[in-house]
Chain A
Amino acid sequence: QKEVEQDPGPLSVPEGAIVSLNCTYSNSAFQYFMWYRQYSRKGPELLMYTYSSGNKEDGRFTAQVDKSSKYISLFIRDSQPSDSATYLCAMNTNAGKSTFGDGTTLTVKP
């Protein structure tokens, strides 16, 4: 079984919708939780990171971590066509390497 499982998608929503992207994990040693965004034909870029359980907000994006349930989410409010991309969750311990989810491809239709 994979250490990190991500809701596979693809996801297609109308512009302005609220989007929820989710991952679960099995390794209790994971301490840092990240979301990367990957546009077509590009490398992934870090979007947000969190350390502890709770919520972290950055503009239209909110990252949520529930360590007790080993569950993380990324919420996108007022989604825009420019948000269309593949979103990858990633997690790491202090060991300097990350474990990535398989990615969820999001399309926001105008």
Chain B
Amino acid sequence: DADVTQTPRNRITKTGKRIMLECSQTKGHDRMYWYRQDPGLGLRLIYYSFDVKDINKGEISDGYSVSRQAQAKFSLSLESAIPNQTALYFCATALAGGRGYNEQFFGPGTRLTVL
């Protein structure tokens, strides 16, 4: 089955460490997104990419960076992790064009804890 996978699924790290979260997809979608989810705050967009050469900041990009290594891979980095980056992180993909409602397909999430 075409899928969206995230690694790692869980990570505990310390303040100041550099962390990379990886996302891979076999759906053949051009659009990829990174969100964080906090209790009571819903899904907030960190970065998104419409193709390999297109990277855009979302509403909460400070403290994060991304890399689109290929159509199928989109990585999120925390250069120097801080405790308020503790959250559930989701990667999502969507098909470009056609469907205006932009259905997004989400990975299983990465639970990150920064001590």
Contact = CB atoms under 8 A, between A and B. Distances in A.
B45 interface: yes
Dominant SS among interface residues on chain A:
loop
A96 B94 contact: yes
A49 B103 contact: yes
A32 B50 CA distance: 19
Interface string B9-49: 00000000000000000000001010000001111110010
B109 A92 contact: no
Contacts, number: 58
A97 B102 contact: yes
B45 A31 contact: no
Dominant SS among interface residues on chain B:
strand
Contacts of B58: 97
Interface in B89-105: 90, 92, 94, 96, 100-104
Interface in A43-71: 43-46, 49, 51
B106 interface: yes
The range of chain A's interface size is 20 to 34
B42 A96 contact: no
A6 B106 CA distance: 21
A74 interface: no
Contacts of A98: 102, 104
A42 B107 CA distance: 8
Contacts of B48: 96-97
Contacts of A31: 100
